[in-house]
Homo-oligomer: A and B are copies of this chain.
Amino acid sequence: MENGKIKAVGPAATILLELPEGVQVASYPDSMIMPGFVDIHIHFPQITTVACYGEQLLEWLQNYILPAEAEYADKALAQERAAVFLKELLRRGTTTASVYGSIAKESAEALFEVAQRLNLRLLAGKVMMDRNGPEGMKLATPESDYQDSKELIEKWHGKGRLSYVVTPRFAPACSAADLQAASRLLKEYPGVYLQTHICENLHEIAWVRELFPERKSYLDVYDYYGLVGEKTLLGHSLHLDDEDFIRVKETGAVLCPCPPSNFFLGSGLFKFAKAKEYNVRVALGTDLGAGNTFSMVRAMEEAYKMAQLQGYSLSPFEAFYLVTLGGARALSMEDKIGNLEVGKEADFIIMDLKSTPFLEFRMQFTKTLRDKLFVQMMLSDDRAIRETYVYGALVHDREDR
């Protein structure tokens, strides 16, 4: 590595012979070096409400999540929590994520500040939401959503490794005017991303139909307002139909299933086979705090189980692809991150293949790379993430607590 980038890649024997003098060498037996993981969908302000009991999407939001998100208008609190949040991501080997803040711009501000200190390639945005909150919730207006997002874009987008994501929460929480504000931001700042939720839960879908009776589908709501394009991250996308898949393909938008969340809220199953049939981009998210984990390894495990329930075998190669190069492609960042090619940014992890007594036992019986990866994907946890490097610097060492 040099200046945060990968300088050379190859078998140790070759690389070692070519090293200039004075280069520091590290050796990791029983380990695998791999690109840092990409979490395509995660909610920062939900770190205090992970694992809230007993509800499905809409009630869960109203009863637990939206009330708890209010406190992030406190900048000092948001900064403290952002440090906890990003540390937990790094502990699990996630080096890039597309993050939802709260409605308060301070939430995104705090994330960007901490991410900048860590030199993280991070995407984040404050949530836009001007209606249908629980009683007592302070909502934004289309004007304040526009203005706050604009300020954040101008201050942070493209600064170092940071990107801004325009973040309308979802159609039920955004009036037509609010969606228009989002659209205006995308037009005025062509480099920014858009993330939102779609077709997660059947009641949510029915509600969208009531709220936008003139639109032919949930996807069409976003599409009509000009929010669906190559930089659009469509969270969940569980209940899309064939017409939706065709339109997703045409627009180049990205589908972002989050298996831990989709199971936790009982939302449904992502159609992996359909996504492959229509050849659309897919990446995985944890969707913490509906997802009960920060770990993309757990997200892969649950993606496998979700696919199995539909008779589809998600191979470990496909799964690890989805959380590395697939994630990078979903973000149109495959020229910068996603694998270990020369010239790419040095975001990577050292995965210890024998991180628990049982993994040490089980790994004896694996022969192929496929089986080694699959065993890690189904049995390992954060203890397997021995070290995490971001832009060439060590940012997490398992031995430090």
Contacts and interface: CB of A to CB of B under 8 A. Distances in A.
A374 B53 CA distance: 7
Contacts of A265: 308
Contact of A365 (B49, B309, B358, B370): B49
A92 to B, nearest CB: 10
Contacts of A264: 304-305, 308, 378
Max chain B C-beta neighbours (<10 A), residue from A53, A301, A371: A53
Given A311-B56, A357-B401, A358-B88, A375 B263 contact: no
A311 B266 contact: yes
A47 interface: yes
Interface in A236-272: 263-266, 268
A304 B302 CA distance: 14
A229 to B, nearest CB: 32
Of A48, A358, A370, most B-chain CB atoms within 10 Å: A358
A370 B361 CA distance: 36
Nearest to A264: B305
Contacts of A364: 48
A315 interface: yes
Contact of A51 (B47, B313, B374, B401): B374
A54 B356 CA distance: 24
B263 A309 contact: yes
B47 A308 contact: no
Interface string A38-71: 0000000001111111111000000000000000
B379 A50 contact: yes
A238 to B, nearest CB: 11
A294 interface: yes
Given A48-B362, A309-B263, A310-B266, A315 B378 contact: no
A84 interface: yes
Interface in A286-317: 292-294, 301-302, 304-305, 307-311, 313, 315-316
A-side interface size class: 35 or more
Nearest to A50: B362
A358 B294 contact: yes
Contacts of A55: 313
Contacts of A307: 266
Given A381-B381, A401-B357, A263 B51 contact: no
A397 B227 CA distance: 55
Interface string A355-396: 011100110110000110011011101100000000000000
A52 to B, nearest CB: 8
A316 B379 contact: no
Contacts of A374: 51-53
7 closest A-B pairs (Cβ-Cβ)? Answer: A266-B308, A263-B305, A51-B378, A54-B313, A292-B378, A48-B365, A53-B374
Interface of A: 47-56, 84, 87-88, 91, 263-266, 268, 292-294, 301-302, 304-305, 307-311, 313, 315-316, 356-358, 361-362, 364-365, 370-371, 374-375, 377-379, 381-382, 401
25 contacts: A48-B362, A48-B365, A50-B375, A51-B374, A51-B375, A51-B379, A52-B374, A53-B313, A53-B315, A53-B370, A53-B371, A53-B374, A54-B315, A55-B313, A56-B308, A56-B311, A87-B357, A263-B308, A264-B304, A264-B305, A264-B308, A266-B305, A266-B307, A292-B378, A292-B379
